[in-house]
Structure 1
Amino acid sequence: MHTIDSIVNFFLHLREKDYSNRYELNCLDLLKEDASNDIEIGKLLDSNKYYINDFFLFYLHQCGYVNKYYYYKDDNNYKKIISYILKYGKNFEIKKKICKNLLIFSNDYKNKYIPLVNSMICFLSFNYYEKNFCLFILSTLINITNNNDELKNRLIELNISTLCNFLILLNDIDITNKIILLYINLCKEQYMCEDFINKGLLIHFLDILFRYYYIDLYIKKQMCINILCIIGHIFNCKKYYIFILNYYNGLLQLAIYIYQTTDFIQFDKLKLIFFFKQISQHSYIIKDKICKHIVPLVIKEIYLYINKDFIYSSLHLINTLTDYKNNCLYLQKVKIFYLFNFIKQLKILDLYQKVEQLENKLKKILNMI
């Protein structure tokens, strides 16, 4: 066994970068946990003075050798070995395998990625010129931040917005698209919106929106829809709502144009409905414009496509619009009660309840006018 350990130590070949000393003869011992449940080899690599054979370390980890001979009390230490390879390794083929695996398992094991996030961001920072690596990491971040506040907070602590600002300047449409998708997850809380705005990403996103909104290419239209969804989340904070509408006067007209020229089957129009609900919440003028220019098309789409989620979101939008009394008269004019009866006949409980609530509200307002 001693001979095998010597061979493994040789192939791991942990040594100082300046080659002033020979490789560490006890490298395997450095893979053990110390008294504080940390891995000693990690401390050496963090010092940035050591090299290790990342190819051999990766396959030593993958074949189960580490799991068999080093039972870690802290389960995160198994992942830390991968994070060290990603952060300090030199073999790009190994890093490519790691990036692919991170993406493959990101939907199922998102809560187990916290020990890896630091290395993922570090790797992205130093390898931004490798497009495929960027797309792998950004796609993984999109998956693991979905409904995971702990990871969102960690990304903000790691200054993700500054890095994304830089990546957008590369002018690569695929990378920019991934960043936009990531921020749909990251902008759902007010403090996350503050980071997004303070680091200048809002200006970049609005610039993209105003450059691409009239171009009828799938990826560019999808990017515009997703940016409007992000802005919809930002509108939860009234000071940012006022700021954006004061400085970007054409935003509503742009959004109306996008909605009217977007195919229902090809694109997710729920995000646009969400945007209209959000932008209309503090302005009667905006409520009036949306009611006149969007609601007739929404009614038509409800009849045509009978999509439960779309109907439910549309009812939320109509509910917001009815806070302006003139809109109630307009809705009566476009025969909204026929639509309500149609939705009731679908016999979907939550839709039925929502329609009943909205119908009663609308009748009450109309009786008062």
Structure 2
Amino acid sequence: MPRLWMRHESRRTERRAALAPDDARKLIAGGVHLTVEESPQRVFPVHEYADAGCAIAPQGSWTSRCPATSYVLGLKELPDAPSELTHRHIFFGHAYKGQAAAPRLLRRFESGGGTLLDLEHLVDAEGHRVVAFGYWAGYAGATLAVLQHRGTLTAPLASSSHEELRGQLTPDRRLGGVTTLVIGADGRSGRGACDALSAAGIEPTRWGLKDTRNLDRDALLAHDILVNAIATSQPVPPFLTKADLDNEQRRLSVIADVTCDVGSDLNALPVYDQVTDWATPVRRLREDPRPLDIIAIDNLPSLLPAEASRAFSADLWPLLLSLREGSEVWDRCLEMFRRAVASLGERG
């Protein structure tokens, strides 16, 4: 059975966990040896993992104490050191869509002989993702967009619960009718966004694949809020261009880009060039003909860390049991990594 080591997340605002304590207990019952690092920010206290039977290690100690045969499990980016990665890592590497930081990360694996099993590309035979935080990303992104449109969004952001966040979405009849468009409404993120908007008393316009193939940009600009929740592995024509932002007929005032493919060839909203964050969740893109704001936070589900982690963990833990069984899901993930490393030489 595989040996797993769940690391502390180096990003200060990342409170999620790839495994919830209850699911850690199931893995241990299945024969997995699981070590969990201490973490002052993780939503689940470390004693819950100890009670589940996990070994406990100091924060960040995977670099010096983790056995070479273990898989290092995490969610977001690795710290800058060590420069050479020798372990097999499981996390969201964001390294296969042409992102600017991807070559450096892949070269760290190449030089150390390690492996990246990117959770973003853990897919079934049809190419559908089998584990994702999408629902809660969409829910959080749409919530922030509504609050920004109402003028009630405050910064810095803080993690919350579903009940607390939903409480901020109480319909406000004084604001009149608000029109909202969700692109990718049929996917996980889209469903989460639509549920949040419904909680706010807003019935969104829902666009799917056929709507984006023949995109009506005037109709898009006629909405107050846009939530982009598409998932694509191929470049698509842009939903908006910078010229569209200057359209005098534009009603659009808030964009929540849940997908956050900025810097990638897959970015369907090339109207901004950097993500926002918890300290500064909103950036102003235009003042005229009316203000237009962008929200593009790349760890939105961490605003709801307990709910998001439990849902993600429930999908992930059964797959972790099959790490050494020649699982086709993990084999596909490994093959993508190998192709990406091989392409480094082609890029020079």
TM-score normalised by structure 2 residue count: 0.25
Q: Which has the higher contact order (CA 8 A, sep 6+)?
A: 2
Select the structure that is richer in helix: 1
TM-score normalised by structure 1 residue count: 0.24
